[in-house]
Amino acid sequence: MAGQKFDTPEVSNTPLIHYLLTHTAMAGRPGAGPALALSLVLVAIVCVFTGLCYAELASMIPIAGSAYTYTYATLGELVAWIIGWDLILEYAFSNMSVSVGFAAHIEALLEWFGLHPDLKWISPAYLPTGLQDLAGKDLYAPGWHFGFNIPAFLVVMVLTVVLVRGIRESARTNNILVLVKIIAILTFIGAAASFIKPVYWHPFMPNGWTGMLSGGSIIFFTYIGFDSVSTAAEECNKPQRDLPFGILATLVACTLLYGGVAICLSGIVPWQSIMGDGAPVVNALKRLSLEPGGHNLRWVELVVLIGAMLGMISSILVFQLGQARVWFAMSRDGLLPKVFGKIHSRYRTPAVATWVAGFVVGIPAGLLDIGTVSNLSNIGTLFAFVLVSIAVLILRYREPERPRSFRAPWGPVFPVLSIIFCIMLMMGLEVLTWEAFFIWLFTGLLIYFFYSRHRSEFAGMR
């Protein structure tokens, strides 16, 4: 669980913190195993620190927006560019991860109905650890192969069309989708509880603290979106009381549900058997349904499939909308070409930005595996939270009298802890992920200094 296994040790596939401490390479990312439940608790604690920092920054700006909007208004153009460029990475690779997971669930749904499409059209072209069936038989060797994950590509493009035509977020619809997801999770926990074999929980931390940290680094993207609670400071009657309560309640609920799934999942199948699996819960149920007395789990599998796919569709829709709006906002401010700010003449939506965001996500989702894309999503998100926390400290020093409807408690403690823990989780990611992230960041800075800086709305003032 949250692990990846390669044939030979390589520095590029080694978590950065392990390499810095031991100067030795590993054959892939160590899995957290059953201790993934503890990884989830660690991530929730980090999210408390970052959420309160995000809430303070958001409370200083009397409009709804993203981290890009807030930093642009408070810290200026360069920092806003870095965060905006980083948000593009976060949103894009988050949705690539979800799209690949959605494709794995589509494959499982087709199999539930007895349909078995050609593997090369339902699996990524790049499989760093290969592809195995439920019995552990190799279907594809590690590396590149001829193929394209069509379901992952199609779900992004279909939702891109929906976004271009225009969609209004409905609180009622969103609540229904959340309820369906919770029902699916509770159905799995209830059904799996009677099949748990405690022997699978031993050892509970097979790879020690390194494995648990690495698990937290990988699973972090499942909490992406919690920060939306922190932007509601202006809507609270007593923000200093209500906002921390809202953030804590959200994180506690998520952690209990996610933790319950992790505990049950690691108790019904060996955790090594679901490493790198895009649909681990569904495939675990499929394995159990083949055992004596497990035939009724076929229906549980169907409920989980439907709940998971509806949840993933809503997630893709929200983050594609967010990504397109970042492209649009940066174009409006002159940091990206004006074409990205073009509005559709009929639907009044940022059509060009939406289509670009669709292809930026859809094509890589058809080519890459879930482990590769989730790593970059996590490092992008964590880096954005580091910048937000630093921004809070800077603004407390530079503009202490600036009105804030919410202030993170205990002085600089929460921002500092947020920075430390986010960097710690970043260091649980592989060296290769860090290299790719620095390339992305360096590319963004080149674009800023050679293009954006000279065409922004502040260019004439320099």
Number of other CB atoms surrounding residue 410 within 10 Å: 11
Task: Encode pLDDT of 421-434 as tens digits.
Answer: 999 999 988 898 99
**Is pLDDT of 415 > 90?**
yes
Q: Which residues of 76-100 are buried (b: 16+ CB within 10 A; e: fewer)?
A: ebebbbbbbbbbbbbbbbbbbbbbb
β-partners of residue 143 are 127
Residue 438: inside a domain: yes
| CA distance linking residue 249 with residue 247, whole number of Å | 6
Number of other CB atoms surrounding residue 201 within 10 Å: 16
Residue-range definition of the domain harbouring residue 95: 11-461
Give 224-228 contacts, CB < 8 A, sequence gap 24+.
224/90, 224/94, 224/319, 224/377, 224/381, 225/315, 225/318, 226/47, 226/51, 226/250, 226/251, 226/254, 227/50, 227/51, 227/54
Task: Encode pLDDT of 254-301 as tens digits.
Answer: 889 999 999 999 999 888 887 767 788 888 888 888 777 777 888 888
pTM of the model: 0.84
Closest CA to 283 of 446, 167, 112, 65: 112
Pairing mode of beta strands 126-127, 143-144:
antiparallel
Domain count along the chain: 1
Task: Encode pLDDT of 358-395 as tens digits.
Answer: 999 999 999 888 777 778 888 988 998 898 899 889 88
| CA distance linking residue 365 with residue 357, whole number of Å | 12
The predicted pLDDT at position 438 comes to 93
**Is pLDDT of 417 > 90?**
yes
Residue 132: inside a domain: yes
Residue 132 DSSP SS3: strand
The DSSP 8-state label assigned to residue 99 in this structure reads H
Residue 4: inside a domain: no
The predicted pLDDT at position 3 comes to 59
Residue 350: inside a domain: yes
Q: Exposed, middle or buried: residue 273 (CB in 10 Å: 0-12, 13-18, 19+)? A: middle
- Report in angstroms the alpha-carbon separations of 384 from 29, 32, 256, 326, 460: 23, 25, 26, 14, 29
Task: Encode pLDDT of 219-259 as tens digits.
Answer: 887 887 666 555 454 555 666 566 677 777 888 888 899 99
| CA distance linking residue 166 with residue 168, whole number of Å | 7
**Is pLDDT of 7 > 70?**
no
The predicted pLDDT at position 226 comes to 62
Q: How many CA atoms lie within 13 A of 355 on its CB side?
A: 10
| CA distance linking residue 271 with residue 260, whole number of Å | 15
What's the whole-number mean pLDDT along residues 316-330?
86
| CA distance linking residue 16 with residue 228, whole number of Å | 30
**What's CA 238's distance to the chain center, in Å?**
31
Q: How many residues does the chain have?
A: 462
The predicted pLDDT at position 384 comes to 86
CATH number at residue 70: 1.20.1740.10
Residue 115: inside a domain: yes
**What would the DSSP string read from start to end of 174-199?**
HHHHHHHHHHHHHHHHHHHGGG--GG
Number of other CB atoms surrounding residue 187 within 10 Å: 16
**Is pLDDT of 454 > 90?**
no
Residue 362: inside a domain: yes
Q: Which residues of 304-315 are buried (b: 16+ CB within 10 A; e: fewer)?
A: bbebbbbbbbbb
| CA distance linking residue 85 with residue 66, whole number of Å | 12
| CA distance linking residue 406 with residue 160, whole number of Å | 36
Name the most confidently modeled range: 124-128, 311-315, 373-377: 311-315
The DSSP 8-state label assigned to residue 144 in this structure reads E
The predicted pLDDT at position 106 comes to 92
